[in-house]
Each structure stands twice: as C-alpha cells, then as structure tokens.
C-alpha cells in the first residue's frame, strides 16, 4: 500500500465526477489500502474519498478513530433514506483551515458494495452519517467552499487563487 498526497483546493481534479467501480478484488483492495494509508499519514481525518487522492472512482473511507485504525470502506455507495436533519460542522483535508457549518441528515440508510463486489445495507448515525454525505459530495465534485455564503466564498477563492469560473453562455 502507498500513502498518496491529498489533492488541495483549487486542484481541478477535485471537480471531476467519480465513476462507479467495476473491477473488484485486487484493484479495489489496492485502492482501499491506499486510502487508509493516506488517511494514516495525511490525517487526522474521519473520512477520505478516492477523488481526493487523484482516483476519480466511487470509493470512500470513513474512520471514526481519525487515525486509520478502524477503517470502513464503501464502494459505489448510495443513500437509500435520510432523516433527522441538523447542523453539522465539517472540515476537509483538501481545504485546510476551513470549517463550515451546514445542514446534514444525522441518520442515513445506505447501500454499498465491498471490495469483492458484495452488496450491503446499513444505518449510519451522527458524525458517521455526516462524514458519509461529505465524501459523497466529493464524487460529484462538490466541495465545502461551495457551501459558504458568497462574500466568504469569494474571500476563500481569492486567498487560494482559484481560477475564475467560466462565463455562462449567453
């Protein structure tokens, strides 16, 4: 396994849409190991999406220990039902220094595959559910900075010299 570097905003690869994983077994296991090892060396953090290590595939890691010692790997994850919306505070390894508060469901029923391709369902609660939603956003190229109110978003983009968004067609 290899610890990789975590992409930092405004790296354009963070905006790529992730594709479903279709190769199970060894390739999926190798990617899972890289995610865990990257969290171990690049953390502490309770979650990491494959997008953040430069692989735009639908695999995410949740580790409530923050250290990589209790890894949960979710392949091709999806939310079946959500409940109990509340305010959650989130951070992201790809956007150092940013803390964003926003609405998230604190209870989820999810479906996912493991590295061998078997399908599972389970219920996630609290920060585990929040983390899961955060990592799912990475698959769509959505980042915490997008959830800031406009003046703060502009300030953050300027600070990190994000390229100006393309003008929308007339």
Site residues (vs Zn ion, CB under 5 A): 92
Closest CB to Zn ion among residues 64, 117: 64
For residue 71, give every residue at least 6 positions away whose Cβ sits within 8 Å of its Cβ, in sequence order, or none: 32, 35, 36, 39, 61, 62, 63
Taking the complex as a whole, how short is the minimal distance between the CB of residue 49 and Zn ion, in angstroms? 7
Strand order in the sheet with 100-113: 47-49, 59-62, 72-90, 100-113, 119-125
Taking the complex as a whole, how short is the minimal distance between the CB of residue 154 and Zn ion, in angstroms? 21
For residue 153, give every residue at least 6 positions away whose Cβ sits within 8 Å of its Cβ, in sequence order, or none: 145, 146
Taking the complex as a whole, how short is the minimal distance between the CB of residue 77 and Zn ion, in angstroms? 15
**Catalytic site residue 135?**
yes
Tokens read off for 135: 């990592």
Taking the complex as a whole, how short is the minimal distance between the CB of residue 167 and Zn ion, in angstroms? 28
Nearest residue to Zn ion on Cβ basis: 92
Residues forming beta bridges with residue 49, ordered by sequence position: 60
CA-based torsion, 104, 91, 141, 28: positive or negative? negative
- Choosing from 72, 121, 135, 140, the catalytic residue is 135
Closest CB to Zn ion among residues 35, 92: 92
Closest CB to Zn ion among residues 92, 136: 92
The upper half-sphere exposure of residue 126, i.e. CA atoms within 13 Å in the direction of its Cβ, equals: 2
Closest CB to Zn ion among residues 32, 92: 92
Cα–Cα distance, 140 to 3 (Å, whole number): 23
**Catalytic center residues:** 135
């Amino acid at each position: 396994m290899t610890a990789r570097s975590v992409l930092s905003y405004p790296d354009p690869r963070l905006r790529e849409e992730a594709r479903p994983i279709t190769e199970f077994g060894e390739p999926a296991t190798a990617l899972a190991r890289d995610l865990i090892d990257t969290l171990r060396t690049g953390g502490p953090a309770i979650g990491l999406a494959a997008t953040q290590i430069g692989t735009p595939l639908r695999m995410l890691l949740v580790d409530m220990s923050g250290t990589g010692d209790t890894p949960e790997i979710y392949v091709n994850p999806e939310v079946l039902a959500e409940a109990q919306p509340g305010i959650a505070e989130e951070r992201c390894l790809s956007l150092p220094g940013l803390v964003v508060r926003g609405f998230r469901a604190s209870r989820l029923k999810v479906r996912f595959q493991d590295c061998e391709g078997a399908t599972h369902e389970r219920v996630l609660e609290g920060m585990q559910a929040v983390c899961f939603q955060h990592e799912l956003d990475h698959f769509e190229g959505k980042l915490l900075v997008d959830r800031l109110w406009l003046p703060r978003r502009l300030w953050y983009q300027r600070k990190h010299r994000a390229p100006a968004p393309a003008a929308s067609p007339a």
